[in-house]
Structure 1
C-alpha cells in the first residue's frame, strides 16, 4: 500500500476536513466539489492509495445518494473499481455499483452486480435494514 507524500497528505486532509464541514451543514454540492478536488491530489494509479481513494469515492457516491443524483453517482461508481487495490474484496464495490444501477433503472446490470457482491460477501452485503429494497429486488 502506498502512502501519500507528506505535503500531499496535508493538503488532502485539509480538503477532506473542509468537505466534512460542508457535509455537516448540508452543503452537499460543495462537499462533493471538495472531494473531487481531493481526488485530483491522489497520484496515479489511485488504487495504490487504497484507504484514501476508496473512502473518498464511497463518500462521493453516498452524498450523491442523499441528493438523489444517481447520474453523478454512476460516474463515480465507475471509478470505484480504480480504488483500493489492496483492500479485502468482499463485494463492496459491486454492491455500490449495483445500488447505483438499480436507482438508475438499469435492473439487468444491478442484478449482475448484486450477484457478484452476494457471492463475494456470502450474502453479508445485504445485511443492513436500509438495503432491504435491494435484497428484495435481488431475490425476485
Structure 2
C-alpha cells in the first residue's frame, strides 16, 4: 500500500479538511467539488492509495445521497472499484453500488449488488442501514 508524499499529501489533506468544513455548514455541492479536486490530486493508479482513495469516493457518494443527486452518485459508485486495492473486501463497494441502483429505480441491479455484498460481508452489510435495502434484497 502506497502513502502519499509531500507536497501532494499536505494539499490532499487540506482539501479533505476544507470539504469537511463545507459539509458541516451545509455547503454540500461545494463539498463534493472540493472532494473531486482532491481525487484529481491522487496519482495513478489511485487504488494503491487504499484508504485515501476509498474514503474519498465513499464521502462523495454519501454526500450525493444527502442532496439526492443519485446520477452523480452512480458515476462515483463506478469509480469506487478503482479504489482501496489493499483494503479487506467486505462488500462495501458493492453495497454502495446497490444503494445507488436502488435509488435510481434499478431494483434488479440493486439486488445483484446486495447479493454480492451480503455474501462478502456474511450478512453484516445491512447493519445500520435503511431497512428498505434489506427488503429489496429479500424481495
**TM > 0.5:** yes
State the partner residue of 1:131. Answer: 130
CA distance in 1, matches of 2:38, 2:24: 18
Give the match's secondary structure for 1:9: helix
Give the match's secondary structure for 1:62: helix
State the partner residue of 2:18. Answer: 18
User: Structure 2, unaligned stretches of length 5 or more?
Assistant: none
Tell me whether 1:49 sits opposite 2:39 in the alignment: no
TM-score by length of structure 2 reads: 0.99
Please list, as runs of the form range in 1=range in 2, the aligned pairs for 1:54-73 lying within 5 A after superposition.
Answer: 54-73=54-73
CA distance in 1, matches of 2:119, 2:87: 17
User: Structure 1, unaligned stretches of length 5 or more?
Assistant: none
Tell me whether 1:74 sits opposite 2:74 in the alignment: yes
CA distance in 2, matches of 1:87, 1:19: 23
CA distance in 1, matches of 2:83, 2:130: 23
Residue deviations 1:69-88 (CA, integer Å, cap 9, x gap): 00000000000000000000
Task: Kindly report the root-mean-square deviation, in angstroms, between the aligned alpha carbons of the 2 structures.
Answer: 0.6
CA distance in 1, matches of 2:127, 2:21: 29
CA distance in 2, matches of 1:131, 1:84: 25
TM-score by length of structure 1 reads: 0.98
Residue deviations 1:43-95 (CA, integer Å, cap 9, x gap): 01000000000000000000000000000000000000000000000100000
State the partner residue of 2:36. Answer: 36
Give the match's secondary structure for 1:60: helix
Residue deviations 1:88-132 (CA, integer Å, cap 9, x gap): 00100000000000000111110100000000001000011x321
